[in-house]
Amino acid sequence: MTDAPPPEYKGPKRVFSGMQPTNGLHLGNYLGALKNWVALQNQYDCIYCIVDLHAITIEPDPKGLAGRCREVAAAYMASGVDPKKSIIFVQSAVREHSELAWIFNCVARMGWVERMTQFKDKAGKDEQRMSVGLFDYPVLQAADILLYKGTHVPVGEDQKQHLELSRDIAQKFNNDYDAPAFFPLPEPLIQGPGARIMSLRDGSKKMSKSDPSDMSRINMVDDAETIMQKIKKATTDPNPLPESAEGLKGRPEVENLVGIYSAASGRPVNEVLSEFGGKGFGVFKPALAELLASELGPIAAEMRRWNADPGALDAILRVGAERARAIAQPIMAEVRKVVGLWHA
């Protein structure tokens, strides 16, 4: 006898994603996540979170944290996330995130969480000295998504493993509590060459805010001149660009720059190569830098405008938190019932 497939989740489709309020967002955050978030608003109900509880897993920063949350909210809106269509809020303003995370701590298995490569990358040789919160980070991430019964999660490729864990937690919760299809199994939306933007200096490392060299990344607030300098200095090789995607194999830095061009322009890689194939980097790099400056320039200007008005940002985040709570609280009440928690 074979097991019947689990019943299908019948609830509404809902997008959930989030970013940490760490200093300075970069091109990877923009092309890997934000740009897709904006497009998804026309198709789905979307919830976009600023995950301050995740940010405290590494370093306390009680003075700077709220300001960084505002800056990330400004980046969301400057990129085109519309607070009238989508919910934008700060994670800790909805207490149920922490509550559901605890319940999921009792569902997730040690072995599952121990497999997470991001923890290993972040901890390096210092695993024993890391906070328990950093280890538990992906369980809180599962709670973020499932507190809203999120069905689709647009992220960069580095989040793929965390999303698999979220699916495993949802499935095990549904099984353990005999609550078929209570939680959906959230699907990652990881799209195109923007999902994996690499360092400008080393094509084997992802572009990241933790890289000590600022030359390795394009920050969302970099001006046109800085972008030009960073792209010009980006590692490449002496050969011209290939005529087709096949020719990018074994040339990770070149593949990265072409991928960035493709993601920023919305044109497929082969189309980019049919324009630039056979040409040298003396032609391609300035074209890429101009493309990025024309995309990021207006966003940076809009970010500055929002950052000059923290009162307006706070008002948006307050409304966002209210709307988020209105979805989360009834779901959390159902969870408490399913789990059998005290309710006298």
Residues lying near ligand TYM in the complex (CB under 6 A)? 16-20, 28-29, 32-33, 51, 54, 141, 144-145, 153, 155-156, 158-159, 162, 195-197, 206-207
Give the span between the Cα atoms of 313 and 229, in whole angstroms. Answer: 33
- State which residue, 61 or 275, has the beta carbon closest to ligand TYM: 61
Tell me whether residue 92 or residue 159 sits nearer to ligand TYM (CB atom): 159
Q: By C-beta, is 33 or 272 nearer to ligand TYM? A: 33
Closest CA to 182 of 253, 295, 100, 89: 100
- Active-site position among 13, 63, 120, 122: 122
Distance CA 103, CA 193 (A): 36
- What is d(CA 296, CA 237) in angstroms, rounded to the nearest whole number? 26
3-state secondary structure of 206: strand
- For residue 243, the minimal CB distance to ligand TYM (Å) is 26
Q: What's at 142, amino acid-wise?
A: A
Three-class secondary structure of residue 49 per DSSP? strand
CA dihedral 218, 92, 162, 328 (to 10 degrees): -130
Closest separation in Å from C-beta 38 to ligand TYM: 13
Q: Which of 10, 84, 120, 206 is catalytic?
A: 206
Find the shortest distance in angstroms from Cβ 138 to ligand TYM. Answer: 7
Q: How far is the CB of 27 from ligand TYM (least distance, A)?
A: 8
Toward ligand TYM, which CB reaches closer, 122 or 275?
122
Nearest residue to ligand TYM by CB is: 32
User: Nearest approach, Cβ of 197 to ligand TYM (angstroms)?
Assistant: 4
How much of the chain is in helix, strand and coil states, percent to nearest 5?
A: 60, 10, 35
Nearer residue to ligand TYM within complex by CB, 263 or 313: 263
| Catalytic residue check, 206 | yes
Write out the two tokens for 299. 């966003």
Half-sphere exposure of 43 (CA within 13 A, CB side): 10
Alpha-carbon gap, residue 12 to 131, rounded angstroms: 36
63 belongs to the catalytic site: no
Nearer to ligand TYM, 17 or 92 (CB): 17
Buried b (16+ CB within 10 A) or exposed e, 282-306: eebbebbbebbbebbeebbebbeeb
Tokens for 189, please give them. Answer: 């939306």
CB of 117 to ligand TYM, least distance (A): 13
Could you tell me how many helices (H) and strands (E) the chain has, helices first? 14, 5
- Tell me the three state secondary structure of residue 88: strand
Is 122 noted as a catalytic residue in this protein?
yes
How far is residue 266's CA from residue 245's CA, in Å, rounded to a whole number? 16
Residue from 13, 172, 209, 285 carrying the catalytic annotation: 209
Closer residue to ligand TYM in complex, CB, 28/83: 28
Q: Which residues are catalytic?
A: 122, 206, 209
